[in-house]
Amino acid sequence: MSELQGLQLNLAELRARGAAVAGVVVDPVATNAALVRDAGIGFPILSDPDLQVIDAYGLRHVAAHEGRDIAHSASVLVDREGVVRWTFVTRNVRVRPTPHDVLAAIDALPAQH
Amino acid sequence: MQTTSERTYRPGARLGLALAGLLLGIAGVVGYFVLLFRLGASLPGLRNSALLNWMVVALGLALSGLAVTRTAAGRRTIPSVLLGFNVVAAGLFAFFLYGMLAVPPADGPAVGVPAPDFALSDQTGKTVRLADFLGAPLLLVFYRGHW
């Protein structure tokens, strides 16, 4: 949650680099709509209740909460051609990449041809 | 006849030191939850490292320890108990930070390979695909959610 809000605080800098942000979560669309509204999130939050995409990205956390599977907290930077260029998969839920880490990863992408 | 050390012994001051140490220790621990839930968005580095909180906790432990060592040998019960509370609080804090919040490792997607395609509903119900973002860098943030 604070990670999404931190990205929101730095959304202008992300967009100045031409980058887009999207969240992915098991929560239903209605929950995500409330989150976007209440937390003032300015990027899409995508609902993956069946964990199809979370599985495709190797990020299923089995029985993480009351026996229910959810996503690992992780950030994945995809370049302009759709290739994964940087990932951060946390080993501790309180530790997330800072917006500074993310901006540095974007700046490290090869320049557009 | 009093010795020099007995003349300078002020139990009230030592107890105050021990209490201040315990309060600092607790403030360091409780303060982390403020950082985690309220200020994490603006201070992510402090949220990640908990460094500031550990400095406050360490100062609290040092004061509590000092209060015990500066108290006459026969009167150390109360400052020792307060130091004990402080040590337990610091131990629980460490367990929370590094034990309870730890998660098993996950590989995530391999770097250098095409990102798996997706088609998911956004918060308005509109289907969003990876292809919609091609041509610009995309940061996908997987998070645990509200359950």
Of A33, A89, A96, the CB nearest to B108: A89
- A15, burial (CB in 10 Å: exposed 0-12, middle 13-18, buried 19+): middle
Q: What are phi and psi of B38, to 5 degrees?
A: -115, -40
Q: Please give the share of chain B, as a percent, with pLDDT higher than 90.
A: 65
Predicted confidence (pLDDT) per residue in B66-110, tens digit? 999 988 888 889 999 999 999 999 999 999 999 998 999 999 999
Round to whole Å and give the CA distance between A32 and B12: 56
Q: Does the predicted TM-score (pTM) go above 0.80?
A: yes
Cα B13 from chain centroid (whole Å):
29
User: Which residue has 């300078």 as its token pair?
Assistant: B8
Note the pLDDT of residue A58.
96
User: Which residue has 């495709």 as its token pair?
Assistant: A56
Residues ≥6 apart with Cβ < 8 Å to B131: A82, B117
Instruction: Choose the mutation target among A37, A54, A72 for the interface with B, i.e. most B CBs under 10 Å.
Output: A72
The nearest CA of chain A is from the CA of B96 a distance in Å of 10
pLDDT tier at B147, thresholds 50, 70, 90 = low
Q: One digit per residue, pLDDT tens: chain A, 113 residues?
A: 678 888 888 899 999 999 999 999 999 999 999 999 998 999 999 999 999 999 999 999 999 888 899 999 999 999 999 999 999 999 998 888 988 899 999 999 987 64
Residue type, A100: H
Identify the bridge partners of residue B38 per DSSP, sorted by sequence position. none
How many residues in chain A?
Answer: 113
| ipTM reported for the complex surpasses 0.90 | yes
Q: Are strands B127-129 and A20-25 parallel, antiparallel or unpaired?
A: unpaired
Mean pLDDT score across all residues of chain B = 88
- Is the pLDDT confidence value at B61 over 90? yes
CB atoms A32 and B114 under 8 Å: no
Round to whole Å and give the CA distance between A85 and A81: 10
